[in-house]
Amino acid sequence: MRHILLWMARNGWLKEHLPRLPFARRAVRRFMPGETAEEALAAAEPFRTHGIGLLFTRLGENLSDLSQAQAIADHYHGLIDEIASRGLDGEISVKLTQLGLDLDPDATLAHGAALSEHAARSGKTFWIDMEGSAYTEATVAMYERLKAEHANVGLCLQAYLRRTPADLHRLLPLHPAIRLVKGAYDEHAAVAFRKRSEVDGAYQSLAVLMLPQAAAGELRLGLGTHDLALVDRIAEYATTAGFPKTCFEVQMLYGIRARDQVRLATSGYRVRDLISYGEAWYAWYLRRLAERPANVAFALRQLFG
Ligand SMILES: Cc1cc2nc3c(=O)[nH]c(=O)nc-3n(C[C@H](O)[C@H](O)[C@H](O)COP(=O)(O)OP(=O)(O)OC[C@H]3O[C@@H](n4cnc5c(N)ncnc54)[C@H](O)[C@@H]3O)c2cc1C
C-alpha cells in the first residue's frame, strides 16, 4: 500500500486530475486548514492558547521556471512579516526545490540567505525541509553554506537514510538546528532502511546522540514525529541523563495527534505544530496517506460524503 501511494504521489496524470475531485478536496482538509496563508494563520490561533508554537509551509516542490522561485520567496517574506505582526510564535519551513534548487543553486542560496536574514529580525529560525535522496547532498551542502553566515537556519534530517549519521557528524560542529524525522519518501534499500524497527532504532540513536549538545544549548533539536512511544523513550533517556524537559521540541503535523500535542505542552514539553497550506497539496497528501493506511479509509469515506 505504501509503495502504491508513493508511486501515485509521483504520477503526473494523477497529479493533474485527482486534486480536481471534490472528495479529494474534502479529504485533504483533515491535514490542511485551507489553501491560503490567511487560512493557515487563522488555524494557528487556537495553538497560541496552549503555548504551542507553529511552523508554516506553503506546499510545492520542483519548479519549471526560476521566476516562480522569486514569487515563492516573496510569499514567504510576506508571511514572516505577517507572523511577526500577529505576535505568533511561528517559523517557516521551506523545500529548497521550491526556491529553485534544480534550476540555479546560487539563486536558491541567495533566496535562503535573504529569508534567514528576514527571519532573524524577529528572532526566528528559517527551516529547510529534506526532500528525496536525490537532493540530500545538495541540501546538506546548501545548509552548510547558509549556516556559515546565518545562525538561525535549521535543517530536517531523515533517520531512514543510511548516510544520516555521517551527515549529522558533519553538521554537529556548526551548532545546528535539526528537525529529526523518519523520512517520507520511497527510497531504495541501498540508501535507506526499509524495516520499521531499523528506522525507529536509527531515529532513537540519532536523537540520543544530539541530546547532550541540545541540553548544553549548542544545538536546537526538534523531534518531528507522531511516534509517542519513541518520544517517551527519548524523553526517558534525557531525564535519566539529568537533561531538562525543554532540551528538545516535539514537532507534529496539523491534524495529527492534536490532543497529544496539547497534553505534551501542558506537561512541560516544548511543542510545535506544522501547518501546511497551498494549492500544490497532491504529492504531499499522498505521502500522508502512505504513512498510515487507515487514512486511505478516511479519504474513501469522503467519496461517499
Ligand atoms: C514537523 C514534521 C516535519 C516533517 N518534515 C519532513 C521533511 O522535511 N522531510 C521528510 O521526508 N519527512 C518529513 N516529515 C514526515 C516524516 O518523515 C514521517 O513521514 C511522518 O512524520 C510519519 O512518521 P512518524 O515519525 O510520525 O512515525 P510513524 O511510525 O509513521 O507513525 C507513528 C504513529 O503516528 C501516527 N501517524 C503517523 N503519520 C500519520 C498520518 N499521516 N496520519 C495519521 N496518523 C499518523 C500513527 O498513529 C502512527 O502509528 C515531517 C514530519 C513532521 C511531524
pLDDT 10s digits, 229-282: 999 999 999 999 999 999 999 999 999 999 999 999 999 999 999 999 998 888
Mean residue pLDDT of the chain comes to: 94
> How many structural domains is the chain composed of?
1
The rounded percent of the chain whose pLDDT value lies above 90 is 78
Choose the residue to mutate in 178, 181, 186 for probing ligand 1, maximizing ligand atoms within 8 Å of C-beta: 181
pLDDT in tens, 168-178: 999 999 999 99
CATH of the domain at 119: 3.20.20.220
201 half-sphere exposure, CB direction, 13 A CA radius: 8
For residue 213, with 0-12 CB atoms within 10 Å meaning exposed, 13-18 middle and 19 or more buried, which class applies? middle
d(CA 271, CA 51): 8
pLDDT in tens, 95-114: 999 999 999 999 999 999 99
At residue 293, the pLDDT reads 76
Please check whether residue 204 lies inside any domain of the structure.
yes
From the list 242, 247, 157, the residue with the least C-alpha distance to 203 is 157
Range of lowest pLDDT (33-42, 115-124, 192-201, 291-300)? 291-300
Does residue 294 surpass a pLDDT of 90?
Answer: no
Show the cell assigned to 37. Answer: 496563508
- Determine whether the shortest distance from the Cβ of 225 to ligand 1 is under 6 A: yes
Nearest protein Cα to ligand 1, atom 24: 225
Please check whether residue 132 lies inside any domain of the structure.
yes
- 82: amino acid identity, one letter: E
Please check whether residue 285 lies inside any domain of the structure.
no
- Determine whether the shortest distance from the Cβ of 288 to ligand 1 is under 6 A: yes
Kindly list the distances between the CA atom of residue 254 and the CA atoms of 34, 117, 277, in Å, as whole numbers in the listed order.
11, 27, 10
From the list 220, 135, 233, the residue with the least C-alpha distance to 178 is 220
Model-wide pTM > 0.75: yes
Question: Strands, DSSP E only, in the chain?
Answer: 53-58, 90-94, 126-128, 153-158, 177-181, 220-224, 249-253, 270-277
- Asked if residue 120 lies in contact with residue 135, where contact means CB atoms within 8 angstroms, the answer is no
CB atoms within 10 A of CB 105: 16
Please check whether residue 297 lies inside any domain of the structure.
no
Nearest protein Cα to ligand 1, atom 32: 227
Q: Which residues pair with 270 in a beta bridge?
A: 249
Does residue 305 surpass a pLDDT of 70?
Answer: no
At residue 1, the pLDDT reads 85
- Asked if residue 54 lies in contact with residue 47, where contact means CB atoms within 8 angstroms, the answer is yes
The rounded radius of gyration (Å) of the Cα atoms in the chain is: 18
Instruction: Identify the residue with better confidence: 56 or 186.
Output: 56
pLDDT in tens, 218-227: 999 999 999 9
The rounded percent of the chain whose pLDDT value lies above 70 is 99
- Determine whether the shortest distance from the Cβ of 145 to ligand 1 is under 6 A: no
Does residue 185 surpass a pLDDT of 70?
Answer: yes
Which range marks the domain in which residue 266 is found?
A: 33-280
- Determine whether the shortest distance from the Cβ of 129 to ligand 1 is under 6 A: yes
Rounded to 5 degrees, what angle do the CA atoms 64, 68, 73 make?
A: 135
pLDDT in tens, 10-38: 898 988 888 888 888 888 888 999 999 99
Please check whether residue 4 lies inside any domain of the structure.
no
Range of lowest pLDDT (34-48, 56-70, 78-92, 188-202)? 56-70
